[in-house]
Structures are given as structure tokens and as C-alpha cells.
Amino acid sequence: MTGRSRFESQSDNVPAQSHSSPGVFHGPASYSSSSRGPGSFFSEFSGDLTNFFTAAGPSKQAFQSAGADFSQTQSADTHGLSGLRMSFSNDSINKLDNQSSPKLLLNLLFTIFKRHIVLSAEQLVTGNGTACFSPKFGDSSLSGFQQGCGPQVSGCQKSKYRSLDGTCNNPYKPTWGAANTPYARVKPAKYADGVQDPPVSHSGKPLPGARLVSAVLFPDADVPDPKWTLIAMQWGQIITHDLSQAAGTTQAKAHSTNCCSEDKSEAIPKEYRDPTCFPIEVLHDDPHYAQHSQQCMNFVRTTTDLSQGCSQPFKPAEQIVAVTHFMDCSIIYGSSKQQTDSLREWKGGRLRMEYRHGKGFPPSSTNKSSVCVRLVTSQLTILHVVLIREHNRVAGHLNKLNPHWDDNKLFHEARRIVIAEHQHISYYEWLPIFLGWESTKHHGLTYDTHDYTHDYSEHVDPSVINGHATAAFRYFHTNIAGYLQ
């Protein structure tokens, strides 16, 4: 596919051709400067949302070819939000404002997408010029690494289709980008004890709570974008979940770990709660939670190689990605054979659906950790449903064109096409909205061509950067609308 990662050896090539189609967005104005209309997928949406993929589907040619430093901050526990505001100097606030500016966002996103798509590990460097990437599961260079951790690959079989768990995309480094492997890092981890304890300020004092900082620096405000609709934000969440679903959290797998009292009025004492708990304190004058008398937010730390017994002693813990690191629609196909098999209908290459009033929906499940029901919000659910319907639509067309194909071939060919659509929309329609068409071309993220590109490199480590999951794409949460009209 055009705009495809250098590391994706099994992606299909699709012409770099924009398709006009709809979309949705709340938040800052667009950074796009393209005169050719990138992001048309996401602007001025009207009509049936469930049909926009059909209108923006692959061309005939595509179908054919697809055969801040808080160290000086005093404790604000007894002062509330107003006390915290007073503890910041004007210079500190200005510095924080500057650090959360569009310029920082652009620089961070460029770094992430260049890392994920174009640069090798040797090319992406930190400010002092030294590469800093963590070893991956299955890396033979790791001495003393325990067997049975992460994916175990004895050999890669030649296949027309990408694997479900992300293994063998690179036959020389078969676990690169695979599910259940650690994030990469641009900068070293900054744990208080150097191994796993949450960080503290330079003075050694606890950092202000996450909810307190959020309420002070990023107060809730409705700022509708004049052009982009909410789907521009929501598509970013689709990409985030596809690339970087952290293992061990309620996002990745439902669990009963509770770090707060039943009425959420206080945190469970440390000696009585689960060691993975890291509850977030809510102050008495919180602008939202005060009205509900809530003073504790449940928060569970993510799974790490250390917690799984897969790390060397005294080595900084690395968080685990539960899905593949590739943009491969794992949000609808799963990241293992077991998950995928449970989602397939096993007829006509289709994914399982329940039909209500003639419309297909993901099947119901009593298992809270089931892939198909972890859709988080109604807005995100809509796009999940659209992608599943798109797979079945493509499978149906392929079945008509190739009645001799069996269920397995129809499924994998439809999956190839839907992944190509997803990648094309993400790089040529969505990314220029926030980075600008000329900027994405200049930085080698997109190509101004209708031809194919062949830029695969076996030296590029596709692992998602930790900062991608925890910082850069969290920006889009600020663009979520607080209500639906």
C-alpha cells in the first residue's frame, strides 16, 4: 500500500489516490495546509454514517491490485484546585502552556510517525544523539531472558497474508511488532526506584495527582471545530486502539481489581489493596466529581515484563502491548488465532454479526473481556460496527467475483483489502488534518504519487513508542465531545 510502513513486508500496495468522503470533530482548528483536500473523509458529513466506507471504498484499480517540572510545587492536598493554581508561578504556567502548544504536538507526532513508518532504530535518536530502544521479547541478543515470555516463533513460513498475532512480518526478527511484546522508548523510563515505582519530583516529593493537574491545566470547554467533525477525533482513537492497547488494564481485559472504596469516597489503604493499584485522588472541590461526592478514581497499572516474570533483575519495567504493533485492524480481527476464530462466521469469509431490523451488529457476549464488546464509547462503537460491516461487504463482493473461493480465502482476501483501506484513510485522509499535507510529504510520511511505493526495510523496528500510547495520542481525548446532540 502507498504510505505503507517500511517494516510491513506483507502489506498490499494500493495507489496513493485520495477518495472524497465524509467525517466528524471537536477541538482546535485543523493544521492541514493541503490544497488537494486531504481529510475530505472527515469533513462536512451528512447522510448515513454506516455507508461512508462504500462511498470512499477502494477504486477498481485498488481492488484489482489487492488480488512540565513540578518539583517546586508544594503539596496541594489541603488547598484544593485554587491552592494548586497559587503554587504555580506565571513563568511555570507559561512554560506549561508552551509545552502543550500545537508546535510540541506536531514535533511529537512527526517523531512518532517517522519512527513507526520510516526511520530505523539507528536513525531515531534522542536529544543527546544516542539511540534508546528497549530490547524486545524473543530477541536472541538478550542474555538470561527467560523462556516462555512473549511470542515463541520457531520459524516463519512463507505466506501471502500477514499473521494474526504480528509475528513473522520480518522473517529475520519474527517477534518485532508482535502482540504481547513491550513498547519501545525514545527516552529511558524514569521510575522513582529505577525499576517500577511511580516517578516523583526532582525534590523527591510526590507529584500532583493526575486528576488535579488535568482540572487545573485543561479545564473543560466546548470549542467546536469549524470544519472537522467528531470522526476526525474518533478515527484517531481507532488507530490508537489498533496500535497500542496496553495489556493488564480494563481497556485490554476486564478484571475486578478495585482500588477505591465501594462509594469511591476514599482509596483502599495500601496494605489492603492489590499491588497493581495506583488510585487517583480527587479533591473536594473538583469541578465535576465534587457533585458526586467522589474522591477516588480507580486506576490499575498496566502489565509489564517485570510483573510477568520476563525481565532481568533491576532492569526498568516495560509495559506490554496486548495487540499487534501494526496498523492491521486488530480491533476487529483480534491479535491471535483464538480471538480471530471466535469472531469469524466461517461462511462466505464473513465476520460474525447479529442482524436487527436488517442491520448487522457485533454479536452479543456474556464475557466482559470479549473482543467484540470492548468498544468503550458509543462513538467508537459506531466505527467498529462500520469496519465489521465493511469486511462483510467486501467479502460479499469477492464471493460474487470468485464463487470458486472457499471461506478461508474469502476471509483473508477481504481482510487484506480492509486493512489497506484503513491504512490509506489513516495516512492520506486523517494524518494531514493534524500535520498538514505538505508537512507529511516533507517528512516522508506520505507520497505525492498515484503509483506504488516499495519502501520496506528489514532494519526498521515497528514497535510502538511508549510515548505514543501515553502522551501523543492522549491529546485527542481533549477533543472528545462531552455530549451528543
Contact between 39 and 22 under an 8 Å Cβ cutoff? The reply is no
How far is it, in rounded angstroms, from Cα 355 to Cα 40? 31
Q: Give residue-wise pLDDT tens across range 165-201.
A: 999 999 999 999 999 999 999 999 999 999 999 999 9
The class of domain 24-255+300-479 in CATH terms is: mainly alpha
Q: How far is CA 47 from CA 22, 55, 116, 232, in A?
A: 9, 11, 35, 17
Q: Over 90: is that where the pLDDT of 85 sits?
A: no
pLDDT band at residue 108, thresholds of 50, 70 and 90? low
Predicted confidence at residue 155, as pLDDT, reads 86
Higher pLDDT, 50 or 165: 165
Is residue 33 scored above 90 in pLDDT? no
What values do phi and psi take at 360, rounded to 5? -90, 140
Handedness of CA 302, 306, 311, 312 (dihedral sign): positive
- When pLDDT is cut at 50, 70 and 90, the band that residue 377 belongs to is low
Measured distance CA(114)–CA(123) in Å, rounded: 10
Q: What pLDDT is recorded for position 112?
A: 53
Average pLDDT, the chain: 73
Q: Which pLDDT band holds residue 346 (cuts at 50, 70, 90)?
A: very high
Residue 120 has pLDDT above 80, yes or no: no
- Active-site annotation holds for 255: no
> How do 280-281 and 359-361 pair as beta strands?
unpaired
User: Which entry of 26, 116, 241, 468 is annotated as an active-site residue?
Assistant: 241
The Cα 336–Cα 329 span in angstroms is: 12
Q: Is the pLDDT of residue 299 over 80?
A: yes
Average pLDDT over residues 97-115: 52
Q: Is 477 annotated as a binding residue?
A: yes
Residue with cell 436487527: 356
CA–chain centroid gap for 347, Å, is 31
Could you report the per-residue pLDDT of 404-421, keeping only the tens digit for each?
999 999 999 999 999 999
Give the start-end residues of each E strand in 300-446. 320-321, 354-356, 359-361
Q: Where are the beta strands (DSSP E) in 7-103?
A: 24-26
pTM: 0.71
